[in-house]
Structure 1
Amino acid sequence: MNANAALRAQQRYRDDAVLSATPERLLTMLYDRLLLDIQRGEAAQRSGDWSEANAQLQHAQDIVAELTSSLSNDWAGSTGLRALYAFLTQTLIGANIGRDPERTHSCHELVAPLRDAWHDAAAAVAQVTA
């Protein structure tokens, strides 16, 4: 199998995983990738790879925008999360523009417990529906 075929197979696997995922799994996948983007962005900033840092932090911002758009106004917690996502977006932008790995790290510190909480919630939903 050549490299292009392997990349296409990997992409198809990822696409299938997303298309077949439950809503709670999609949410945890977004949080996992958000945390990974922030970690990669910080690492790139610390090594002076500004192009890579920019790419990672912009992708993180895209994920936060997706998380924001997925919030239901019918849910009482949406107002607080919307405000948190706005703060996170502004902090990611500032960290990227200012080339500030400490601000990027502060985003990691904010997202990590949220990610863990959503994973716990998804696991609880899976137990109930199993």
Structure 2
Amino acid sequence: MVMHNPYATYQNNSVTTSTPGELTLMLYNGCLKFIEQAKRAAELGQIEQKNTAVQKAQAIISELMITLDASFPVAKDMLVLYEFANSRLVDGNIQNDSKLFEEAAEIITEFRDTWKQVIQLNRQKQYGNVSEI
């Protein structure tokens, strides 16, 4: 008999039923989670865990960079900020400096918060009400 993990099922369903905007929000939240893990691991001297968390955050930033729509002028500015956040992660990993991870987190948090507002405004425009994300 196969045992199903209800949490894994929920996660899978939430990803497969989410809008592209919600998926982007999930990416931002995942990136912030991994940056926080890297920061904690750096403070505890857990080098391998720190490196793994940094690599996961970098993979998410890479995905966000790849999916930017270059037809919008703001995409160039966003790309520069993504590259800077990524460089902070690399430097923080090399220097074992959690302050550099915090700099990356600040940038990603700004993107995440702005993206949440965009989703809420879009829902309000589409449905006439705003639901919390």
| TM-score normalised according to structure 2 size | 0.87
- Aligned partner of 1:5 in structure 2 is 4
What do the CA deviations read for 1:75-116 (whole angstroms, capped 9, x no partner)? 121101111111111111111122111111111222222211
- Aligned partner of 2:130 in structure 1 is none
Using the TM superposition, give the Cα deviation of residue 122 of structure 1 relative to its aligned residue in structure 2, in angstroms.
1.0
Count of paired positions: 127
Code of the aligned partner of 2:4: A
- Aligned partner of 1:94 in structure 2 is 91
Q: 2:30 aligns with which of 33, 51, 55?
A: 33
More helix by share: 1
Structure 2 Cα separation of the partners of residues 88 and 108 of structure 1:
8
- Aligned partner of 1:72 in structure 2 is 69
Using the TM superposition, give the Cα deviation of residue 48 of structure 1 relative to its aligned residue in structure 2, in angstroms.
1.1
- Aligned partner of 2:43 in structure 1 is 46
> Which one is further off, 78-87 or 59-68?
78-87
Structure 2 Cα separation of the partners of residues 5 and 19 of structure 1:
17
SS at match of 1:5: coil
* Identity over aligned pairs, percent: 25
- Let me know the Cα RMSD of the aligned residues: 1.8
Q: 1:60 aligns with which of 57, 68, 73?
A: 57
| TM-score normalised according to structure 1 size | 0.89
Code of the aligned partner of 1:41: A
SS at match of 2:4: helix
Structure 2 Cα separation of the partners of residues 66 and 12 of structure 1:
24
- Aligned partner of 1:119 in structure 2 is 116
Structure 2 Cα separation of the partners of residues 99 and 126 of structure 1:
41
> Which one is further off, 75-84 or 10-19?
10-19
Using the TM superposition, give the Cα deviation of residue 57 of structure 1 relative to its aligned residue in structure 2, in angstroms.
0.9
Task: Give unmatched runs, 5+ long, in structure 2.
Answer: 128-133
Task: Give unmatched runs, 5+ long, in structure 1.
Answer: none
